[in-house]
Amino acid sequence: MSTEPPRDPIAEYDKLNSELLNLQAQFANQKMPQQEFELLSKQLKDRISAADANLHVAARKDPSIAKRLRLRSYNEPTVQLIISHFVRTSGKPIEPEFGADRFPKYPIAGISGEELSVERSLLQRLADIRGLTQSLYERVVYCPRCQRPSDIFMRLKCSQCASIDISISRMIEHVSCGTIHQEGAFRLGSSMICPTCKKLMRNAEEYRLIGIVCSCNVCQAHFEDPAQSYFCRKCNYDFDLLGAMIIDVFAYGMSTDILNEARKSLGISDLTKTLSESGYQVEVPGVLAVSSKEVLFSLIARKSAKTFAIDLVQSDSEVDVEPVLELYVKLLEATAPILAILAVMPTLSKKGRDVAALHNLTVAEGSTASEVTQRILKILDDSSAAVS
Ligand SMILES: [Zn+2]
Ligand SMILES: [Zn+2]
Ligand SMILES: [Zn+2]
């Protein structure tokens, strides 16, 4: 019997990706014939997409895997924009807009306020890892041939000969005398007069709409339920509900809990970039093994055998004491010396600063990501240069 420990789907996925990078490096260094490279890289890519699908299945079942995937995804530039949207609008859902092509688009504001469109697949991926909540917004019929919604018309057809050349009239009942007739029989200019009792009907309560009746202008058939189908003008293709592609279109929101988790990572991509350029080895999110468990930081930077753990917190107003305490607690069990920095945008409360000073925690504040980044870089460089 096998006693292999259960494999970590995230590690599995990362391993395949680094194998692919290695392979590409080998090929680039001309250490591998083209044909062999193409075959191996195709195999690896297939395994990577299978591992990716597997990850998302695992994330739906296991909240801890979902959380790890979220923390990784927060660092992606587009995801940072999505988080900024929710911070700025205090959690207003991202709703689809349908342009002339009727494909759903998800507009959000970019860094300098310009409008950007976010891919539906990205929002869906974030929903899979519980970073976003989704609510059904609309269902759209797509053509099964061209897979587009843009030229679809709903058709009502003769139930006998399937012509679309049919007349549809409403059936009306005069409430006081019980006469039932097609609407046309009641109409006299803009007035409604009962064809039986000749009474003028002054308001809508005097008659009832009781249904429709159709007649075919081609075969003269009369019927109540016209056949329904869809027609794509682009493909000249008629299809019914059974053959239609029906796409659920969602609006995406972010719960308060997730927003609090996600906003901590804003500005991380700036920070990562600057620190890497200054020769630090950066890991996002930063994972430290502390006595038998793993502790997560926004990022960890390493240089000349020194380790720096950084938590980044952003708020639309002042940041209070909680993240200071959180960082303090995380460091309690650390055995090796670590310089921990709490990076705060825009400012830390008085109480937060007092608690940080009490526990010897370094704080870097700044009103923008680049300001915070510069402060952190200075603290790190000073500390790296210091003789330990
Ligand atoms: Zn079509
Ligand atoms: Zn007909
Ligand atoms: Zn009447």
Which stretches does DSSP call E strand in 224-305?
227-232, 237-239, 245-253, 281-283, 286-290, 293-297, 299-303
pLDDT in tens, 56-95: 899 989 998 998 889 888 877 788 889 988 988 888 999 9
CA-nearest of 313, 250, 245 to 87 is 313
Could you give the angle at the alpha carbon of 202 between the alpha carbons of 198 and 204, nearest 5°? 110
More confident residue, 258 or 265: 258
Query: For the chain, which residues make up each domain, given as ranges?
Result: 9-61, 159-225, 264-385
* C-alpha 162 – ligand 2 centre gap (Å): 6
Task: Report pLDDT for 165.
Answer: 96
pLDDT in tens, 298-320: 889 998 888 999 988 877 678 88
Q: Is pLDDT above 60 for 251?
A: yes
* C-alpha 236 – ligand 1 centre gap (Å): 7
Token pair listed for 245: 């592609």
**CB under 8 Å to 338, separation ≥6 — which residues?**
288, 307, 308, 309, 331
The secondary structure element, H or E, covering residue 273 is helix 268-277
**Nearest bound ligand to the CA of residue 244:** 1
* C-alpha 174 – ligand 2 centre gap (Å): 30
State which fold the 264-385 domain adopts: Trna Endonuclease; Chain: A, domain 1 (3.40.1350)
The total of other beta-carbon atoms located within 10 Å of residue 39's CB is 11
Q: b or e along 67-98 (b: 16 or more beta carbons within 10 Å of the residue's beta carbon)?
A: bbbbbbbbbeebbbbbbbbbbeeeeebbbbee
C-alpha 364/C-alpha 376 separation (Å) is: 6
* C-alpha 224 – ligand 2 centre gap (Å): 13
* DSSP helix/strand/coil, 333: coil
* C-alpha 184 – ligand 3 centre gap (Å): 14
Query: Of the ranges 228-232, 249-253, 296-300, which one carries the lowest mean pLDDT score?
Result: 296-300
**Nearest bound ligand to the CA of residue 151:** 1
Query: Of the ranges 125-139, 150-164, 234-248, 286-300, which one carries the lowest mean pLDDT score?
Result: 286-300
* DSSP helix/strand/coil, 266: coil
Contact present, 193 and 237 (Cβ < 8 Å): no
Task: Report pLDDT for 247.
Answer: 94
In this structure, which residues have their CB less than 5 angstroms from ion ligand 1? 143, 145-146, 232, 234-235
| Widest distance between CA atoms in the chain | 107
Task: Report pLDDT for 221.
Answer: 96
* C-alpha 164 – ligand 2 centre gap (Å): 8
Q: b or e along 241-269 (b: 16 or more beta carbons within 10 Å of the residue's beta carbon)?
A: eeebbeeebbbbbbeeebbebbbbbbbbb
Task: Report pLDDT for 48.
Answer: 93
Q: Is pLDDT above 60 for 116?
A: yes
* C-alpha 139 – ligand 1 centre gap (Å): 17
Token pair listed for 318: 């002042």
What percent of the chain stands above pLDDT 70? Answer: 96
* C-alpha 191 – ligand 3 centre gap (Å): 14
**CB under 8 Å to 374, separation ≥6 — which residues?**
274, 366
pLDDT in tens, 173-221: 999 999 999 999 999 888 999 999 999 998 889 999 999 999 999 999 9
Contact present, 365 and 378 (Cβ < 8 Å): no
* C-alpha 210 – ligand 3 centre gap (Å): 15
Q: Is pLDDT above 90 for 135?
A: yes
